[in-house]
Amino acid sequence: MDPRRGQSSAQVQTLIDAAVGNPAFLDVWPQRSGAAVIAANTISLSRLPRTPKARSLSWADVFVATAAGNIAVALMTTTDSVSTDAQAIAATFTRVAHTGEIAAAGAGVHQRLTFITPYDYALGTDLWIAFGGNNASLSIGRHSILTGLSTAGALGLAKASAYSLGIPATLTALAATAYLPYLRTG
């Protein structure tokens, strides 16, 4: 710790990062707009904001309103050009980090899931976050994609009947979706 300033260099770097737009975590949306049950075995996929600084991502949070069954989160990339819904629907997404399948826990809480191997998120990378669960009684925080698009400029995708013991290594043939789960990662 630098005695002249009263803060360690790590604390100073955290303050600098926050001031220049490098938050401690990345949100799909800045706030959740409600909670609802999910379609069992459906995977939701949404683009994360680009990072202003390279960083390692080691966890994801999901807001669990009512716990039931198992959940999983994965980070995914694509080499396809994805700037419109039509391009995203046709893209192939590859899993680069995942949590594995974990029992949903708690009620009205953020559940933190740890990636099996952290992912080094480099500048210029388009990164997507996927969420899935296997129980139709699971209720999670979510957003209307129309509200999200007006504030975040993100695309939302889903694939029914794709969740089987977690998020698969690749996802293709997705569809546009009206709602996305509230997720954050850091």
Domain with residue 121: its CATH number is: 2.60.120
In a domain, 107, yes or no: yes
Average pLDDT, the chain: 76
Rounded CA-CA distance 184/119 in Å is: 14
**Whether the Cβ atoms of residue 97 and residue 117 lie closer than 8 Å to each other:** yes
In a domain, 3, yes or no: no
In a domain, 80, yes or no: yes
- Phi-psi map region of 165: left, alpha, beta (phi>0 left; psi -120 to 50 alpha): left
Domain that residue 101 falls in: 23-185
Can you give the pLDDT at residue 104? 93
Q: What is the DSSP letter of 163?
A: -
Can you give the pLDDT at residue 151? 35
In a domain, 84, yes or no: yes
High-pLDDT (> 70) share of the chain, %: 68
Task: Give the model confidence (pLDDT) of 37-86 as tens digits.
Answer: 677 888 888 888 777 788 888 998 888 888 999 999 999 988 887 766 66
The more confidently predicted of residues 155 and 29 is 155
Choose the weakest-confidence range: 31-35, 121-125, 155-159: 31-35
Q: What is the DSSP letter of 12?
A: H
Global pTM?
Answer: 0.78
In a domain, 31, yes or no: yes
> Which residues face 185 on adjacent strands?
26, 60
Residue 91 is encoded by which pair of tokens? 């893209």
In a domain, 177, yes or no: yes
Cα-based distances in Å from 184 to 6, 48, 87, 138, 172: 31, 9, 24, 18, 23
Can you give the pLDDT at residue 28? 56
In a domain, 9, yes or no: no
Rounded CA-CA distance 16/52 in Å is: 12
Top-ranked range on mean pLDDT: pick from 98-102, 105-109, 149-153: 98-102
* Total count of domains within the chain: 1
In a domain, 144, yes or no: yes
**Whether the Cβ atoms of residue 74 and residue 171 lie closer than 8 Å to each other:** no
